[in-house]
C-alpha cells in the first residue's frame, strides 16, 4: 500500500475561498455575529488559515471591505459621466446583481470595529468623489453621494427585499431612470 502524495496547498485559491465565505457571512450576519469558525467551515478549510492569510477576523473583514471597494472602483473606474447610468444599470440588473447587493450590504453594515468602519467610509467617499470629479468637481459631491445612495437602494430593493416593480425592471428601464437622476443631480458645470 502506498501513501497518497501530500496534498498541495493553493494559497491563492484558499485565500479567495476565505474571502468569498467571509463576504457572505459578514453581509448576512454582520461582523459581531460572524465567527472565524463559521467562515472556515463555509470555505471548507482549517480555521488556522484565517490567521495565516489575514492575521485575524478584523484583518479578514478589512480585506473583504477593500475587495468590495476595488470592485466598486473597477465598475465605475475610467468611464465618462455619459456612461455612468448604463454602467450602474448593467451592474444592478446583471447576473451578478445578487453578488453586488451582497457587497453593498457588506459596505453598509456596521462592524463595531473603528478601523474597518474607516476603511468602509474611505471606499464609499472615494467612489463618490470620483463621480463628482466627472461631473465637474467638489461642488458636485452631494449630488454624487445621492446618486450612489440611490444605486445602493435600488440594488438592495431588487435583491434583498424584492420589491416590485423595481425587482423585475429591465436594465433599459433602470438605465432610463438612472439617467434622469444623474442628469438632475449632476448637471454639466455650465447648466448649474
Q: What share of the chain is helix, strand, coil (3-state, %, to 5)?
A: 75, 0, 25
Residue 96: per-residue pLDDT: 47
19 closest CA partner among 75, 73, 66: 66
Least confident of 16-25, 33-42, 130-139, 171-180: 130-139
Q: Across the chain, what does the average pLDDT equal?
A: 81
- Examine the pLDDT at 34 and tell me if it is beyond 50: yes
How far is 122 from 114, CA to CA, in rounded Å? 12
Under a CB-based contact definition with an 8 Å cutoff, are residues 155 and 104 in contact? yes
- Per domain, the residue ranges of the chain are 64-191
Q: Give how far Cα 136 sits from Cα of 8, 101, 112, 131, Å.
A: 52, 28, 35, 9
Residue 24: per-residue pLDDT: 87
**Across residues 139-144, what is the average pLDDT?**
91
- Examine the pLDDT at 48 and tell me if it is beyond 90: yes
- Examine the pLDDT at 121 and tell me if it is beyond 60: yes
Structure confidence by residue, pLDDT tens digits, 67-111: 877 776 666 556 778 888 888 888 777 644 555 566 666 766 666
Q: What does R_g of the chain's alpha carbons equal in angstroms?
A: 19
Residue 16: per-residue pLDDT: 93
How far is 57 from 65, CA to CA, in rounded Å? 12
How far is 31 from 109, CA to CA, in rounded Å? 8
Assigned fold of 64-191: Tetracycline Repressor; domain 2 (1.10.357)
- Examine the pLDDT at 114 and tell me if it is beyond 70: yes
The residue assigned the cell 478584523 is: 58
- The pLDDT > 90 percentage for the chain reads 31
How far is 158 from 151, CA to CA, in rounded Å? 11
93 closest CA partner among 165, 186, 191, 33: 165
Q: Where does residue 162 fall: left (phi above 0), alpha (psi -120 to 50 degrees), or beta otherwise? A: left
Amino acid at each position: 500500500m502506498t501513501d497518497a502524495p501530500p496534498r498541495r496547498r493553493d494559497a491563492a485559491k484558499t485565500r479567495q475561498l476565505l474571502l468569498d465565505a467571509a463576504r457572505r457571512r459578514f453581509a448576512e450576519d454582520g461582523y459581531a455575529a460572524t465567527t472565524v469558525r463559521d467562515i472556515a467551515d463555509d470555505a471548507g478549510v482549517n480555521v488556522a488559515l484565517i490567521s495565516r492569510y489575514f492575521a485575524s477576523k478584523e484583518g479578514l473583514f478589512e480585506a473583504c471591505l477593500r475587495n468590495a471597494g476595488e470592485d466598486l472602483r473597477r465598475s465605475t473606474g475610467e468611464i465618462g459621466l455619459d456612461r455612468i447610468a448604463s454602467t450602474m444599470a448593467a451592474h444592478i440588473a446583471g447576473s451578478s446583481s445578487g453578488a453586488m447587493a451582497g457587497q453593498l450590504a457588506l459596505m453598509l453594515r456596521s462592524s463595531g470595529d473603528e478601523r474597518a468602519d474607516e476603511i468602509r467610509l474611505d471606499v464609499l467617499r472615494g467612489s463618490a468623489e470620483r463621480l463628482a470629479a466627472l461631473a465637474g468637481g467638489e461642488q458636485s459631491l452631494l449630488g454624487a453621494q445621492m446618486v450612489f445612495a440611490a444605486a445602493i437602494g435600488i440594488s438592495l430593493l431588487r435583491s434583498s427585499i424584492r420589491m416590485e416593480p423595481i425587482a423585475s425592471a429591465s436594465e433599459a428601464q433602470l438605465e432610463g431612470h438612472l439617467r434622469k437622476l444623474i442628469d438632475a443631480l449632476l448637471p454639466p458645470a455650465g447648466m448649474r
